[in-house]
Amino acid sequence: METINKHYFSDMGVMLGRSMRHILRSMDTIITVTITPIAMMLLFVYVLGGAIQTGMDNYVNYLLPGILLMAISSGIAYTSYRLFMDMQRGIFERFHSMPIARSAALWGHVLTSLVSNAISVVVIILVALLMGFRSSAGILSWLAVAGILALFTLALTWIAVIAGLSATSVDGAGAFAYPLIFLPFISSAFVPTETMPSVVRAFAENQPVTSIVNAIRALLAGQLVGSDVWVALAWCVGIMLVAYFFAMRVYKKRM
Amino acid sequence: MQTNAIQVNGLHKSYKQLQVLKGVDFEVQNGSIFALLGSNGAGKTTIVKILTTLLEQDGGTAAVNGFDVASKPDNVRQSISLTGQFAAVDEILTGRENLIMIARLRHLDNPRQISDDLLNRFSLNDAADRRVSTYSGGMRRRLDIAMSLVGKPQIIFLDEPTTGLDPEARLEVWKIVKELANNGTTVFLTTQYLDEAEQLANRIAILHEGKIIANGTLADLKKLFPPAKVEYIEKQPNLEEIFLAIIGKKEKI
């Protein structure tokens, strides 16, 4: 065991190196992941946005947080897909029959997910800047936004791990992401929740996306974030812990 | 150290209701080629998975290189290398990157040198910096085996190494396996091809319905059958021989 612990970080480094090559050589997945959210952003800003009353004078500013969450939700489908392919091709078996920490192979995928989603997020923010997105947030607020997005990515990544490990087909590995991609529509991401009928509004205001979107929106606008940020963090950490627990159970069973 | 490379006693394994292994016993001598023969679904891969620490048995014991697979999996993993049924190579990386990755994970000095040597030995030099997704089935399998040789493990497991390969690639794999054994590596091989076991193995065990029903050298196994009746027939080349002769790659192995 000693030798394994001693090498844990260098093993993780190798796994991360592998992942980075995967990301850099399949930039088309970044494009696939970002194109729908960007199209949504264009549609909502230039077609529908004029008719939406948000109480903010710049609709791109209002919309961006929800668009980012949407991009991450579709990005994790690829995490699931990559994991599924590793299982199918037997490369996991090779790693597991080698004297390296077993979890290194899995954590490699988790790190890949974080890095590739971070790239997607940056791409979308750049497009938003071109469309007139402006933020008065300071460096600390930006760091807080990055932290919330990273936690959100991690939470969804562990859900993706469950899907990737238990899927029986390539299509199945990614299908779980669809409901997640649509969750922002029934939230405060596109329109304020006040105009929704009471049942929908109750759902919208109590589902994770709304509090996360509100927290990020407030941070980017340089406003006080209030209780939303704590609710958002609680959702992210809660989902992450539950998903991690089940992911590990599936992992032990499958290995 | 004259222990057997692999020692298996009374191995049992079930998947839910299905009993796959019903008391398997065999041993593999150091430095030999051992072939486990059986039809699809006989449980060959299950045995490989237990011996390579990927799966825990329900009953019985198995030791690899003197280490119990259940209680000392880390020591077992230091001694072995697995080439699974499907070429376990990273398709997005190049051949060279695949080898360097494995060398790093085995914490060896000079990964680049090790990968250069193996690329040379497996005639993958020209394709070294191409992505593996562009490789043919035979090249993938060669890279797969090359990856298993990184760090010179004492015992190599090859699970159906030639399934799905064309005849030429198959002969190449055979040559590699023979070279390995000549250099003192123990080779544990599973196959469903009788001629493969006949060509390669020092000892052959036949796994059928969860048990080893025969185990011995080729000569031993032949003795189980009545002596052949002598008949004179015209020797016709088989299709494989014709194919190889035409493409001019026929090698004596």
Domain limits at B140? Answer: 6-246
Q: Spell out which residues of chain B touch residue A255, defining contact as CB-CB under 8 Å.
A: 54
Both structure tokens of B251: 């090698």
Question: From the candidates B53, B104, B134, which should be mutated to test the interface with A, based on the most A CB atoms within 10 A?
Answer: B104
- State the DSSP H helix or E strand holding residue A212, giving kind and residue range, or none if neither: helix A208-220
Q: Mean of the pLDDT values across residues B150-164?
A: 89
Flag whether pLDDT at A4 surpasses 60: no
Pick from A1, A26, A94: CB nearest B74 = A1
Flag whether pLDDT at B253 surpasses 60: no
Q: Please state, for a pLDDT cut of 90, what percent of chain B lies above it.
A: 34
pLDDT tens, A184-223? 888 888 878 888 888 888 888 888 888 898 889 888 888 8
Q: Report the sign of the C-alpha dihedral through residues A135, A141, A143, A146, in that order.
A: negative
pLDDT tens, A53-75? 777 778 888 889 999 999 999 88
Judged by CB atoms closer than 8 Å, whether chains meet at A26 and B89 is answered as no
pLDDT at residue A255, as a whole number: 67
Question: Whole-angstrom Cα distance, residue B236 to residue B176?
Answer: 29
> Where do the domains of chain A lie?
2-254
Burial class (CB in 10 A: 0-12, 13-18, 19+), B182: exposed
* CB of A2 less than 8 A from some CB of B: no
* CB of B130 less than 8 A from some CB of A: no
pLDDT at residue A127, as a whole number: 93
- What's the total number of domains in chain B? 1
Question: Whole-angstrom Cα distance, residue B187 to residue B155?
Answer: 6
What CATH number does the domain containing B143 carry? 3.40.50.300
Is residue B251 in a domain? no
Helices A8-25 + A27-43 axis angle, to 10 = 60
Per DSSP, A99 falls in state S
Burial class (CB in 10 A: 0-12, 13-18, 19+), B195: exposed
- Å between B88 CA and nearest CA of chain A: 4
Question: Whole-angstrom Cα distance, residue A187 to residue A174?
Answer: 23
Flag whether pLDDT at A3 surpasses 60: no
Question: Whole-angstrom Cα distance, residue A215 to residue A56?
Answer: 15
* CB of B158 less than 8 A from some CB of A: no
A255 and B54 Cβ atoms separated by less than 8 Å:
yes
Give contacts of A 103-162 with B, CB under 8 A. none
Q: Which amino acid is at B8?
A: V
Judged by CB atoms closer than 8 Å, whether chains meet at B78 and A100 is answered as no
* CB of A22 less than 8 A from some CB of B: yes
Q: Spell out which residues of chain B touch residue A22, defining contact as CB-CB under 8 Å.
A: 92
A98 and A8 Cβ atoms separated by less than 8 Å:
no
pLDDT tens, B29-85? 988 999 998 888 788 889 999 999 988 889 889 999 989 988 988 889 989 999 887
pLDDT class for B114, splitting at 50, 70, 90?
very high
Strands (E), chain B: 6-15, 18-28, 33-37, 59-64, 67-68, 80-83, 155-159, 186-191, 203-208, 211-216
pLDDT at residue B1, as a whole number: 47
* CB of A21 less than 8 A from some CB of B: yes
Model confidence, pTM: 0.80
pLDDT class for A2, splitting at 50, 70, 90?
very low
Is residue B16 in a domain? yes
Q: Mean of the pLDDT values across residues A216-242?
A: 87
Q: Mean of the pLDDT values across residues B162-190?
A: 87
pLDDT class for B226, splitting at 50, 70, 90?
low
Both structure tokens of B222: 């032949």
pLDDT at residue A91, as a whole number: 87
Instruction: Say which residue, A56 or A155, is predicted with more confidence.
Output: A155
How much of chain A is helix, strand and coil, in % rounded to 5? 80, 0, 20
Place of tokens 């051992």: B34
pLDDT at residue B227, as a whole number: 65
Apex CA A71: angle with CA A66 and CA A76, to 5°? 130
Question: Whole-angstrom Cα distance, residue A24 to residue A20?
Answer: 6
Q: Spell out which residues of chain A touch residue B102, defining contact as CB-CB under 8 Å.
A: 94, 98
pLDDT at residue B94, as a whole number: 94
Distance between the two ends of chain A, CA-based, in angstroms?
19
pLDDT at residue A1, as a whole number: 42
Apex CA B144: angle with CA B63 and CA A249, to 5°? 60
HSE-up of B5 (CA within 13 Å, CB side)? Answer: 21
Give the closest residue to A70 by CA, choosing from A225, A179, A151.
Answer: A179
Which of A50-59, A165-174, B131-140, B216-225 reaches the highest mean pLDDT? B131-140
Flag whether pLDDT at B230 surpasses 80: no
Place of tokens 């010179």: B152
Flag whether pLDDT at B167 surpasses 70: yes
Please state, rounded to an integer, the average pLDDT across all residues of chain A.
Answer: 85
Helices B95-105 + B137-149 axis angle, to 10 = 20
Interface pTM (ipTM) of the complex?
Answer: 0.81
Question: Whole-angstrom Cα distance, residue A133 to residue A208?
Answer: 24
Question: Whole-angstrom Cα distance, residue A19 to residue A66?
Answer: 27
CB count, 10 Å around CB of A38?
A: 19
